Amino acid sequence: MNIAIVGTGYVGLVTGTCFAEMGVDVTCVDVDAAKIEALRQGHIPIYEPGLEEMVLRNVEAGRLHFTTELTSCLQDVEVVFSAVGTPPDEDGAADLRYVLEVARTFGQHINRYTILVTKSTVPVGTAQRVKEVIQEELARRGVAVPFDVASNPEFLKEGAAIRDFMSPDRVVIGTESPRVEKIMSRLYKPFLLQRERIIFTDIASAEMIKYASNAMLATRISFMNDIANLCELVGADVNMVRRGIGSDTRIGRKFLYPGCGYGGSCFPKDVKALIQTAQRAGYPMEVLQAVDRVNERQKGILFEKLLRHFDGDLKGRVVALWGLSFKPETDDMREAPALVLIERLLEAGCRVQVYDPIAMDEARRRLGDRVSYCRDMYEAAVDADALMLVTEWKEFRLPSFNVLKRTMRTPLILDGRNIYDKEQLQEQGFVYYKIG
């Protein structure tokens, strides 16, 4: 089977590479000529464990190709996946200009039955707009070429995307066509040999499933952060509370860990987009509005703890940050709590020293020379008045606290992910703050 993937961002590149790994002939398309040339040379624009090796292997095998023109491969493929960006507008709604551009190109050039599958996260009703654009272009050409539109939302976790794609817990396909069901079942069959996990729905439901899934997970995170903050005020232990409620099978243990807020390309954007979708339908999503507010407040909680510790006097303080990406195993800093913290620290007159195992280049691109970039975690802590753990990379789990004690000016640790033992640190002479 031959397919095309439009968009070589996180979703598009992982999707295309994983399909190629199963023997599908895949052409990845992107308007960014520099990115396409880099991919042809074996340079991967994103960090994802195992992705680079898989890309190189499938390029060498002749199953994975890169181009700037969808038209160069459109007549050879059965399915076109649209995995272009849907950045938020000023009001938080998803910007569909790139999705509709793909639809327009598709309608302008198809000459035989082809399926256009939207993989991008889009509001309910987008498929209908996509279909209308394609039909408009076909009418303009004066031809009646058969086509179908479908929705196939992705559920990849950054840092585990290849594993998630190769062994999915579910594959959601929104379609109104038995022909699409047959073709998409054949395409996904290699990933579902052990257990059938494909769910066919109508298109509107498939579009909603992705938003609703991310919104539910974001809700759990914000709820737990609210509970953690309350635990701190009333003297309860949030870890005990987490274990207690997580043992209830109706609730479960996942996404109950308090922290300094969620970030990334999905949760913040999708929560805001779903709120906007609801507003346009005349319905207020009051729970999600609160989820968004709680998360924005939570991103500054380590700063607030630091401010209280120093009685509001932060000018000239040196603060070390461990972790810049929004989560481990990625260099993605979109909506990362570290960015909020750095801005507030700099505004307060602090000097900020940062280290991240992977995201340093991305940090330099975003922050320039406003912070000091360190070669390792210990260099970041040199002469620091405080150390903030923001992203729970594995290498941060068991640091040498003796080294930190010797190198830091003030033995103060603010743990944004609750990975350290409070009693142990206090015994070693540290002042320790966690979430909750």
What is d(CA 200, CA 45) in angstroms, rounded to the nearest whole number? 33
Tell me what pLDDT residue 280 has. 92
- Tokens linked to 144: 């009646």
Tell me what pLDDT residue 139 has. 97
Would you list the domain boundaries of the chain? 2-201, 211-297, 299-433
Vertex 304, ends 157 and 378: CA angle to 5°? 65
- Tokens linked to 185: 């079942």
Q: What is the mean pLDDT of residues 84-93?
A: 81
- Given a contact cutoff of 8 angstroms between Cβ atoms, the answer to whether 388 and 414 are in contact is yes
- Given a contact cutoff of 8 angstroms between Cβ atoms, the answer to whether 204 and 126 are in contact is no
Catalytic residue numbers, as ranges: 266
pLDDT in tens, 130-139: 999 999 999 9
Topology alike, domains 2-201 and 211-297: yes
More confident residue, 265 or 215: 215
pLDDT in tens, 358-384: 999 999 999 999 999 999 999 999 999
- Given a contact cutoff of 8 angstroms between Cβ atoms, the answer to whether 92 and 275 are in contact is yes
Helix crossing, 238-246 with 203-234: angle to 10°? 140
In 3D, which of 103, 40, 92 has the Cα closest to residue 66? 40
Burial code of 223-234, b = ≥16 C-beta within 10 A, e = fewer? Answer: bbbbbbbebbee
Residue 193 has pLDDT above 90, yes or no: no
Give the count of beta carbons closer than 10 Å to the beta carbon of residue 41: 9
What is d(CA 324, CA 339) in angstroms, rounded to the nearest whole number? 8
Tell me what pLDDT residue 265 has. 85
Residue 92 has pLDDT above 80, yes or no: no
Tell me what pLDDT residue 42 has. 87
Residue 148 has pLDDT above 80, yes or no: yes
Burial code of 301-328, b = ≥16 C-beta within 10 A, e = fewer? Answer: bbbebbbebbeeebeebbbbbbbbbbbb
DSSP 2-55: EEEEE--SHHHHHHHHHHHHTT-EEEEE-S-HHHHHHHHTT--SS--TTHHHHH
The superfamily in CATH containing domain 2-201 is: NAD(P)-binding Rossmann-like Domain (3.40.50.720)
What is d(CA 46, CA 51) in angstroms, rounded to the nearest whole number? 9
Residues 6 or more apart whose Cβ sits within 8 Å of residue 326: 262, 263, 264, 332, 333, 334, 335, 336, 337, 338, 391
Domain spanning 299-433: CATH 2.40.128.50: no
Tell me what pLDDT residue 194 has. 72
- Given a contact cutoff of 8 angstroms between Cβ atoms, the answer to whether 408 and 353 are in contact is no
Tell me what pLDDT residue 308 has. 97
Pick the CATH number of 211-297 from 3.40.30.10, 2.40.50.100, 3.30.70.360, 3.40.50.720: 3.40.50.720
Q: DSSP label at 94?
A: B
